C-alpha cells in the first residue's frame, strides 16, 4: 500500500469520520507512563509531520513535514534539539519522503521527485485542488519519479543514487554509513507486464514493492525479496548484519515484520497479529524492536515492541486514540521519537518521550511466548 | 482612615514574607504565588483592600526588577472606573384597570429592576408580546414575537426564557435570542417605554422575580426593564377574558411562530425602576522594560505580557463554585491567577537580564473575574497604542500542570505562532495542546479584539477552580517555572525579529447575538485542555447532579438528551436547552466502556 509514512494519511481520515472512536480520555493514567515519560510534542508548524530519524549523535532529528505555502507535499527538515532551529534539507520542489542521516558524514539521504519537470505544475494543481475545498482521500501515489538522493549539508551538493523508473524510497543507512537498504517498485516498469499485472499496477503499484540494498554511492544495487505484495520500510540492525522490514500480503491488508540477512537469505517473520504490523525499528541495545500495529482497531494504530527474535507476544507501548506509529529510539536508547495524532486534529505530528529501557526489558521478559 | 492603617501594616508584613520565601527556594515563582494567594490578600477581589495590597506588591516587584512606568504615566498604576455591583433601590409597578382600584407592587419579590435597566418612571397601556423573541432575518428562521403588534410608547410584557415545548431544533435557535438584554433591545427598538418580564407558570423559577444579576455596564440600556412576580402578572392578565397566564403561555410554548401576543385593553401600568450602581475604581498595574538596542526599522516596537491579578475575594459575586459548607471563605486564587501573575513577573525578570529587541510591556489586569474589565479598559485607552504591539502573551491559570500538558490558546491569531511555538518548545519540551480560538474567557480576548496577535497559556482547570481550595500549596512550581522559560523564549523570538507577526482574524464559533445562558446546574467541571471527542470531565462538584448521577473525573460525555457532544461548544449549547428537574439521559465513556446514566439538572438562579 504505501510508504513508511503514507499510512497516516489514510487512517487519519477514517479516524475523523468515525464517531464510534471516542475511546479513553488521555487524562486517565495509562500503562503508557511505565515506558514513556515526559511526553512532548516536537512539531507544531504545518499540516502534518512524521518520520523523525535521529542523527548519530542524538542532537538532531530529520523529518518530513508539509509546512511551506508553495508546496503542498512533504519536504525534509532537520531540527536542532538544543536550539530549536529548523532548516530545510530537501530542494523544496516536488514530493519527498523518508530521510536518514549518514553516519560519519555530513550527508542526509531522502527520496524526491524534484528532477521531474512536471513537479511545479503538479504542486500548483494540488494546491488549487485543496483551495477548492477538496482533498484526495489518499494522497500517496507511489510517484514513479521518486528517486533516492543524498545531500551534503556543508556543500549542498546533491548526489542522485537511483534513477530506475518506479518508486525508489524508504531508504536508510547501515550504522557504518556504507550501505543503504530501500524499497523499490522498479519491477513494475523494467519488464513487460502481463494483463493481470498491468491491471494490478493501475490499482495499487505498491504490490510491486521489493527490498533492495546498494552501496552508499548508489552502486551494487541488489534485490533481496521476491514475494508479491508491498515489501518496504527496511532498516539495518544495529550490528548491520540483518535487515528488518515489513511485508504486506497481496491484498495490502495484512502486514508483518520480517528480518533477513543482507543477501536476502534466512527470511523470518517476527509478528503475527493478522493486522497491519509495520514500521519496525530495532532498539540500539539490539534486544527488541518497536513497531506499529492496528491490532486493536482498524483505525487505531499503537506502538508495540517485541523481542528481536519474535519469540514473545508483543507488548503494547502507546495508549491513545488515533494514530501512534513510526517509533524510532534515539541512538543512546533513552528517548523515543514517534508520529502521533494525539495532539488533536486529523494529522500526525512528531512526539518525543523519555524511554524506560529497563521497564521495557522487564515487560518483555514477562510477556508470554508467541 | 482605619482601612489605611490596616493597609500599611499588611504591606510591612508582606514585604517580610516575600523576602523570606525567596531565600527559601530557587523557584522563580513560588514566593510570588505564596504572597498573592496569602490570607492577607483575602482573595484579591477587584476594588478590595486585598487587591490593592496585591497591586502594591506587584509594583514593588516591578521596581526591583528595574521596570519603568509606561510613557506618559508617572507610576505603575492604570486606573479605570467600573460598576462593582448593582442593587434595586425601590422599583414599583402600579396596575390600574379602567374604573378599578390601582394595585401597587413594591417589594423585590414582586418587582425587581433588571440590572441593565434605566432608572426612570413610565406609564402606558400594556401589550403582551409572548416570549419577546426576535430572530434576525439572516437566520432564515421566521420568528418575531412583535409581528402585528404596535408597542410604541407602551409597556411590553414578555415571558422569560423561550418556548418550553418546542422541538430541539427550534429551541436551539430561539435560545440564542432569549437573553434578557437582547429581548430588551428588541422592545426598545420597537418604541416600547418599558419591558416587564414574567417567568411563566410552565418555566423554571415560575412566578419568581429575577435577582439582580451582576452587570458591569456603567449605564443603563436605554429602556426601563424589570421582572415581576406571578401575582403581579396575574393582576395584569386578570382582565383578559379566557386568558389565564398559564393557558397563554401554553399556546406560545409549541414555538409556533404564528401564536401571537395581544394588547391588554383598558389597563395602564406605571413602572418605576430604580437601579443603584456602585462605581469603583480599578487599577491595572502596568510597566515596561525598554528595548536595549536601536528600534530603527522595527515594526510595531512593543511586545506585551499580561495576567489578571484579581480573584473572587470571598466568592460573594456569583461566580464562586464553592460548595455550601465552603461558602464565604477566602477564595485564594493561587492558580487563578496568582500563578499567571507570578509567571509574568518572572518572565519580566528573565527578560530584564537579556538584550531586548523590542520594548516589553507587562500588564497585570484587575477585574478580569467580573468580565475582562481591566484589560478592556487598557486596550480601549491604551497608554501604548494597540497598533504598536507586535504581540500579547497572556497567562491565566498556569500553575496546575498535569502530565506535562500545556494548553496554548489563540494560536490562530497569527500565521507565525506555530513556527515560533515549535522552536521554543524544542527546549521547553511540553506536550502542547494548541487551540486556535482566541475567543477565550480570559484577557487574551481583549487583545484579539484590537487585532493584536496573541497567545494565552493555560494548564487546565481542576476541582478547586473558583473555590476556596485553590491554594498555593497545590501549585506545581517546577512546571510553572518551565512555563516561564517557554514564554520568555517566545518573547525573545518575537522581540528579536524586525518584522512583527501578522494578525489573522479568527472567525468566532458561537453566535454573538446573545444567549439564553446556561440556566441549569449540573455540577460538571469540564477539562478544557485535553483533546477528546466528547466532553472530558476534569471533575464533578460534590453533591451536584453529576455526582449524584454517578459521573466522575475522567468520564467523557458523548451524548446529552439525544444530542451528540463533540466538544465544549456542543456541551454548553446542550446545557442551555435542558430543563430544571427534568431527567435527561447522559451517554458517556468510562475508559473504553460506553455507559449511560440519568442526570436531573438543578436550577441556576
Task: Quote the pLDDT of residue B518.
Answer: 59
Give the model's confidence band at B196: pLDDT under 50 very low, under 70 low, under 90 confident, else very high: very high
Which residues are bridge partners to B283 per DSSP? Answer: B79
Which burial class, exposed, middle or buried, applies to B1 when counting CB atoms under 10 A from its CB (0-12, 13-18, 19+)? exposed
Q: How far is A17 from chain B (nearest CA, A)?
A: 11
Q: How many angstroms separate the CA atoms of B104 and B112, rounded?
A: 13
Whether A41 sits inside 8 A of B431 (CB atoms) is: yes
What's the whole-number mean pLDDT along residues A37-41?
A: 95
Interface test with B, best of A16, A19, A27, A337 (most B CBs within 10 A): A27
User: Does B179 or B422 have the greater pLDDT score?
Assistant: B422
What's the whole-number mean pLDDT along residues A172-194?
A: 96
The proportion of chain B whose per-residue pLDDT surpasses 90, expressed as a percent, equals 56
Is 70 exceeded by the pLDDT of residue B23? no
Contacts of A46 in chain B (CB under 8 A): 418
Give the model's confidence band at B175: pLDDT under 50 very low, under 70 low, under 90 confident, else very high: confident
Task: Quote the pLDDT of residue B138.
Answer: 66
Enter the C-alpha cell of residue B471.
491554594
Task: Quote the pLDDT of residue A20.
Answer: 27
Task: Quote the pLDDT of residue B25.
Answer: 52
What's the mean per-residue pLDDT of chain B?
87
What's the whole-number mean pLDDT along residues A325-354?
A: 94
Is 60 exceeded by the pLDDT of residue B18? no
Sheet holding A147-152, edge to edge: A96-101, A107-112, A147-152, A158-160
Of A27, A39, A79, the CB nearest to B426: A79
The proportion of chain B whose per-residue pLDDT surpasses 70, expressed as a percent, equals 90
DSSP structure class, residue B208:
P
ipTM for the complex shown = 0.85
Q: pTM, whole model, 2 decimals?
A: 0.77
Is the CB of residue B339 less than 8 Å from the CB of residue B396? Answer: no
What's the whole-number mean pLDDT along residues B213-224?
A: 71
Segment A198-231, tens digit of pLDDT? 999 988 899 999 999 999 999 999 999 999 999 9
Task: Quote the pLDDT of residue B166.
Answer: 84
Give the model's confidence band at B26: pLDDT under 50 very low, under 70 low, under 90 confident, else very high: confident
Among A309-318, B53-62, B242-251, B456-465, whose mean pLDDT is lowest? B242-251
Among A154-168, A306-320, B75-89, whose mean pLDDT is lowest? B75-89
Give the model's confidence band at B15: pLDDT under 50 very low, under 70 low, under 90 confident, else very high: very low
Nearest to B340 by CA among B1, B129, B33, B567: B33
Segment A240-253, tens digit of pLDDT? 999 999 999 998 88
Contacts of B533 in chain A (CB under 8 A): 19, 21-22, 321
Task: Quote the pLDDT of residue B84.
Answer: 76
CATH code matching the domain that covers A41-131+139-366, chosen among 1.10.10.10, 3.40.50.2300, 2.40.10.330, 2.120.10.30: 2.120.10.30
Residue B380: strand, helix, or coil:
helix
Is 70 exceeded by the pLDDT of residue B492? yes
Task: Quote the pLDDT of residue B573.
Answer: 67
DSSP structure class, residue A296:
T
Whether A321 sits inside 8 A of B534 (CB atoms) is: no
Is 90 exceeded by the pLDDT of residue B277? no
Among A124-128, B23-27, B474-478, B490-494, whose mean pLDDT is lowest? B23-27
Segment B521-566, tens digit of pLDDT? 888 877 765 666 788 887 777 778 898 999 998 899 988 887 778 7
Q: In Å, how far are B225, B229, B234 from B106, measured between CA atoms?
A: 15, 11, 15
Task: Quote the pLDDT of residue B461.
Answer: 84
Contacts of A154 (CB under 8 A, 6+ apart): A106
Nearest to B486 by CA among B413, B416, B432, B412: B432
Of A24, A40, A45, the CB nearest to B592: A24
Query: Domain segments of chain A: what residues?
Result: 41-131+139-366
User: Kindly report the CA angle at A153 between A151 and A154, in degrees rounded to 5?
Assistant: 120
What's the whole-number mean pLDDT along residues A27-38?
A: 76
Whether A40 sits inside 8 A of B427 (CB atoms) is: no
Task: Quote the pLDDT of residue B215.
Answer: 64
Task: Quote the pLDDT of residue B366.
Answer: 95
Give the model's confidence band at B393: pLDDT under 50 very low, under 70 low, under 90 confident, else very high: very high
Task: Quote the pLDDT of residue A25.
Answer: 35
Is 70 exceeded by the pLDDT of residue A22? no
What's the whole-number mean pLDDT along residues B96-110?
A: 92
Among A273-287, B390-404, B587-601, whose mean pLDDT is lowest? B587-601
Q: How far is CA B130 from the centre of its chain?
A: 29
The proportion of chain A whose per-residue pLDDT surpasses 90, expressed as a percent, equals 80
Whether A44 sits inside 8 A of B558 (CB atoms) is: no
Please identify which residue in the block is written with the cell numbers 446529552: B560
Q: How many angstroms separate the CA atoms of B339 and A54, rounded?
A: 37
Enter the C-alpha cell of residue A74.
512533504
Is the CB of residue B457 less than 8 Å from the CB of residue B413? Answer: no
Is 80 exceeded by the pLDDT of residue A16? no
Which burial class, exposed, middle or buried, applies to B309 when counting CB atoms under 10 A from its CB (0-12, 13-18, 19+)? buried
Of A21, A22, A39, the CB nearest to B404: A39
Task: Quote the pLDDT of residue A187.
Answer: 93
User: Does B604 or B580 have the greater pLDDT score?
Assistant: B580
Cis peptide before B425 (omega within 30 of 0): no
Segment A107-165, tens digit of pLDDT? 999 999 999 999 999 999 989 888 887 776 555 689 999 999 999 999 999 999 999 99
Give the DSSP per-residue string, B130-185.
TT--B--GGGS---BTTTT---TTSEEEEESSS-TTS-HHHHHHHHTT--HHHHHH
Q: How far is B418 from chain A (nearest CA, A)?
A: 5
Task: Quote the pLDDT of residue A133.
Answer: 78
Task: Quote the pLDDT of residue A8.
Answer: 36
Task: Quote the pLDDT of residue B511.
Answer: 40
Contacts of A30 (CB under 8 A, 6+ apart): A24, A319
What's the mean per-residue pLDDT of chain A?
89
What's the whole-number mean pLDDT along residues B369-395?
A: 91
Q: How far is CA B585 from the centre of its chain?
A: 28
Among B77-81, B82-86, B304-308, B419-423, whose mean pLDDT is lowest? B82-86
| Phi, psi (deg, nearest 5) at residue A328 | -140, 110
Is 60 exceeded by the pLDDT of residue B455? yes
Task: Quote the pLDDT of residue A29.
Answer: 47
Q: How far is B105 from chain A (nearest CA, A)?
A: 54
Is 80 exceeded by the pLDDT of residue A19? no
Q: How far is A149 from chain B (nearest CA, A)?
A: 27
User: Does B87 or B342 have the greater pLDDT score?
Assistant: B342
Interface test with A, best of B420, B529, B532, B555 (most A CBs within 10 A): B532
User: Does B323 or A12 have the greater pLDDT score?
Assistant: B323
Is the CB of residue A78 less than 8 Å from the CB of residue A61? Answer: yes
Contacts of A79 in chain B (CB under 8 A): 426
What's the whole-number mean pLDDT along residues B457-472?
A: 92
Of B433, B527, B558, the CB nearest to A22: B558
Residue B234: strand, helix, or coil:
helix
Task: Quote the pLDDT of residue A57.
Answer: 97
Is the CB of residue A104 less than 8 Å from the CB of residue A9? Answer: no
Tell me which H or E stretch contains A253: none
User: Does B599 or B508 have the greater pLDDT score?
Assistant: B599
Task: Quote the pLDDT of residue A14.
Answer: 31
Q: CA end-to-end span of chain A, whole Å? A: 27
Residue A185: strand, helix, or coil:
coil
Contacts of A345 in chain B (CB under 8 A): 531
Q: How many angstroms separate the CA atoms of B393 and B362, rounded?
A: 10
Q: How far is A150 from chain B (nearest CA, A)?
A: 26
Task: Quote the pLDDT of residue B164.
Answer: 83
Task: Quote the pLDDT of residue A30.
Answer: 62
Q: How many angstroms separate the CA atoms of B516 and B507, rounded?
A: 21
Task: Quote the pLDDT of residue B180.
Answer: 87
Whether A40 sits inside 8 A of B404 (CB atoms) is: yes
Residues of B within an 8 Å Cβ radius of A: 402-404, 418-419, 421-427, 429-434, 489, 527, 530-534, 536, 538, 553-556, 558, 564, 566, 589, 591-592
Give the model's confidence band at B462: pLDDT under 50 very low, under 70 low, under 90 confident, else very high: confident
What's the whole-number mean pLDDT along residues A48-61?
A: 97
Give the model's confidence band at B216: pLDDT under 50 very low, under 70 low, under 90 confident, else very high: low
Residue B102: strand, helix, or coil:
coil
Task: Quote the pLDDT of residue B217.
Answer: 60
Sheet holding A268-269, edge to edge: A231-236, A242-248, A255-261, A268-269
Contacts of B3 (CB under 8 A, 6+ apart): B49
Amino acid at each position: 500500500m504505501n510508504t513508511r509514512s503514507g499510512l497516516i494519511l489514510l487512517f487519519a481520515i477514517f479516524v475523523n469520520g468515525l464517531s464510534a472512536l471516542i475511546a479513553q480520555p488521555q487524562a486517565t493514567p495509562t500503562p503508557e507512563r511505565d515506558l514513556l515519560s515526559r511526553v512532548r510534542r516536537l512539531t507544531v508548524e504545518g499540516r502534518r509531520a512524521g518520520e523523525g530519524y535521529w542523527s548519530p549523535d542524538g542532537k538532531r532529528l530529520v523529518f518530513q513535514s508539509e509546512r511551506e505555502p508553495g508546496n503542498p507535499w512533504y519536504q525534509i527538515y532537520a531540527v536542532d534539539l538544543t536550539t530549536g532551529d529548523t532548516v530545510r534539507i530537501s530542494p523544496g520542489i516536488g514530493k519527498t519522503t523518508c530521510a536518514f542521516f549518514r553516519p560519519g558524514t555530513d550527508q542526509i539521504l531522502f527520496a524526491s521527485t524534484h528532477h521531474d519537470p512536471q513537479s511545479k505544475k503538479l504542486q500548483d494543481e494540488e494546491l488549487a485542488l485543496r483551495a477548492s475545498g477538496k482533498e484526495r482521500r489518499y494522497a500517496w501515489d507511489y510517484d514513479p519519479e521518486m528517486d533516492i538522493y543524498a545531500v551534503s549539508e556543508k556543500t549542498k551538493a546533491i548526489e542522485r543514487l537511483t534513477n530506475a523508473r518506479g518508486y525508489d524510497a524508504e531508504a536508510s543507512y547501515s550504522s557504518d554509513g556504507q550501505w543503504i537498504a530501500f524499497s523499490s517498485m522498479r519491477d513494475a516498469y523494467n519488464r513487460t507486464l502481463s494483463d493481470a499485472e498491468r491491471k494490478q499496477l493501475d490499482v495499487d503499484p505498491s504490490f510491486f514493492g521489493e527490498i533492495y540494498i546498494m552501496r552508499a554511492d548508489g552502486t551494487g544495487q541488489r534485490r533481496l525479496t521476491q514475494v508479491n505484495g508491498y515489501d518496504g520500510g527496511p532498516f539495518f540492525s544495529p550490528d548491520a548484519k540483518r535487515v528488518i522490514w515489513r511485508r504486506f500480503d497481496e491484498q495490502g491488508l495484512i502486514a508483518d515484520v520480517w528480518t533477513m540477512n543482507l543477501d536476502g537469505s534466512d527470511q523470518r517473520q517476527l509478528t503475527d497479529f493478522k493486522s497491519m504490523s509495520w514500521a519496525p525499528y530495532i532498539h540500539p541495545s539490539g534486544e527488541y524492536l518497536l513497531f506499529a500495529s492496528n491490532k486493536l482497531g482498524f483505525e487505531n494504530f499503537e506502538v508495540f515492541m517485541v523481542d528481536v527474535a519474535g519469540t514473545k507476544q508483543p507488548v503494547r507501548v502507546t495508549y491513545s486514540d488515533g494514530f501512534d506509529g513510526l517509533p524510532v529510539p534515539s541512538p543512546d536508547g533513552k528517548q523515543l521519537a514517534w508520529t502521533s495524532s494525539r495532539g488533536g486534529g486529523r494529522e500526525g505530528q512528531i512526539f518525543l518521550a523519555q524511554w524506560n529501557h529497563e521497564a521495557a526489558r522487564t515487560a518483555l521478559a514477562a510477556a508470554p511466548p508467541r | 482612615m482605619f482601612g489605611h492603617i490596616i493597609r500599611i501594616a499588611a504591606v510591612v508584613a508582606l514585604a517580610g514574607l516575600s523576602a523570606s520565601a525567596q531565600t527559601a527556594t530557587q523557584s522563580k515563582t513560588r514566593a510570588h504565588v505564596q504572597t498573592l494567594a496569602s490570607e492577607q490578600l483575602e482573595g484579591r477581589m477587584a476594588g478590595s483592600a486585598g487587591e490593592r495590597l496585591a497591586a502594591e506588591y506587584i509594583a514593588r516587584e516591578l521596581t526591583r526588577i528595574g521596570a519603568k512606568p509606561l510613557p506618559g504615566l508617572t507610576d505603575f498604576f492604570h486606573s479605570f472606573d467600573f460598576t462593582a455591583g448593582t442593587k434595586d433601590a425601590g422599583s414599583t409597578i402600579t396596575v390600574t384597570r379602567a374604573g378599578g382600584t390601582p394595585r401597587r407592587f413594591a417589594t423585590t419579590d414582586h418587582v425587581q429592576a433588571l440590572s441593565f435597566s434605566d432608572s426612570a418612571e413610565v406609564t402606558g397601556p400594556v401589550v403582551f408580546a409572548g416570549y419577546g423573541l426576535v430572530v434576525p432575518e439572516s437566520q432564515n428562521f421566521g420568528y418575531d414575537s412583535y409581528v402585528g403588534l404596535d408597542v410604541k410608547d407602551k409597556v411590553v410584557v414578555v415571558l422569560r426564557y423561550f418556548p418550553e415545548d418546542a422541538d430541539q431544533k427550534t429551541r436551539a435557535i430561539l435560545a440564542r435570542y432569549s437573553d434578557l438584554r437582547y429581548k430588551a433591545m428588541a422592545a426598545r427598538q420597537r418604541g416600547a417605554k418599558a419591558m416587564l418580564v414574567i417567568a411563566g407558570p410552565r418555566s423554571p423559577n415560575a412566578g419568581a422575580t429575577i435577582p439582580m444579576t451582576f452587570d458591569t455596564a456603567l449605564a443603563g440600556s436605554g429602556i426601563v426593564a424589570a421582572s415581576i412576580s406571578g401575582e403581579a402578572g396575574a393582576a395584569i392578565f386578570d382582565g383578559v377574558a379566557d386568558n389565564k397566564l398559564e393557558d397563554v403561555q401554553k399556546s406560545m410554548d409549541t414555538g409556533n411562530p404564528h401564536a401571537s401576543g395581544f394588547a391588554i385593553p383598558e389597563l395602564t401600568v406605571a413602572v418605576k425602576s430604580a437601579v443603584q450602581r456602585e462605581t469603583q475604581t480599578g487599577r491595572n498595574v502596568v510597566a515596561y522594560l525598554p528595548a536595549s538596542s536601536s528600534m530603527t526599522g522595527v515594526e510595531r516596537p512593543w511586545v506585551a505580557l499580561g495576567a489578571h491579578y484579581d480573584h473572587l475575594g470571598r466568592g460573594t459575586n456569583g461566580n464562586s463554585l464553592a460548595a455550601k459548607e465552603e461558602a464565604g471563605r477566602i477564595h485564594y486564587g493561587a492558580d487563578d491567577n496568582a500563578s499567571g501573575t507570578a509567571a509574568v513577573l518572572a518572565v519580566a525578570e528573565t527578560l530584564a537580564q537579556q538584550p531586548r529587541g523590542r520594548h516589553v510591556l507587562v500588564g497585570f489586569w484587575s477585574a478580569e473575574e467580573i468580565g475582562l474589565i481591566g484589560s478592556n479598559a487598557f486596550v480601549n485607552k491604551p497608554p501604548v497604542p494597540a497598533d504598536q504591539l507586535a504581540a500579547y502573551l497572556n497567562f491565566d491559570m498556569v500553575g496546575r500542570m498535569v502530565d506535562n500538558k500545556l494548553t496554548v490558546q489563540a494560536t490562530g491569531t497569527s500565521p507565525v505562532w506555530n513556527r515560533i511555538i515549535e522552536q521554543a518548545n524544542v527546549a521547553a519540551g511540553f506536550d502542547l495542546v494548541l487551540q486556535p480560538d482566541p475567543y477565550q474567557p480570559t484577557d487574551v480576548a481583549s487583545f484579539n479584539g484590537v487585532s493584536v496577535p496573541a497567545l494565552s497559556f493555560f494548564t487546565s482547570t481542576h476541582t478547586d477552580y473558583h473555590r476556596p481550595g485553590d491554594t498555593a500549596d497545590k501549585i506545581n512550581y517546577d512546571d510553572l517555572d518551565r512555563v516561564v522559560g517557554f514564554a520568555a523564549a517566545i518573547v525573545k523570538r518575537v522581540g528579536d525579529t524586525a518584522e512583527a507577526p501578522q494578525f489573522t482574524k479568527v472567525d468566532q464559533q458561537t453566535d454573538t447575538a446573545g444567549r439564553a445562558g446556561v440556566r441549569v446546574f449540573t455540577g460538571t467541571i469540564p477539562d478544557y485542555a485535553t483533546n477528546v471527542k466528547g466532553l472530558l470531565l476534569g471533575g464533578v462538584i460534590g453533591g451536584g447532579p453529576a455526582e449524584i448521577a454517578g459521573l466522575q473525573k475522567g468520564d467523557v460525555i458523548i451524548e446529552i438528551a439525544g444530542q451528540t457532544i463533540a466538544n465544549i461548544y456542543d456541551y454548553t449549547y446542550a446545557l442551555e436547552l435542558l430543563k430544571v428537574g427534568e431527567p435527561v439521559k447522559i451517554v458517556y465513556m468510562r475508559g473504553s466502556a460506553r455507559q449511560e446514566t440519568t442526570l436531573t439538572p438543578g436550577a441556576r438562579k
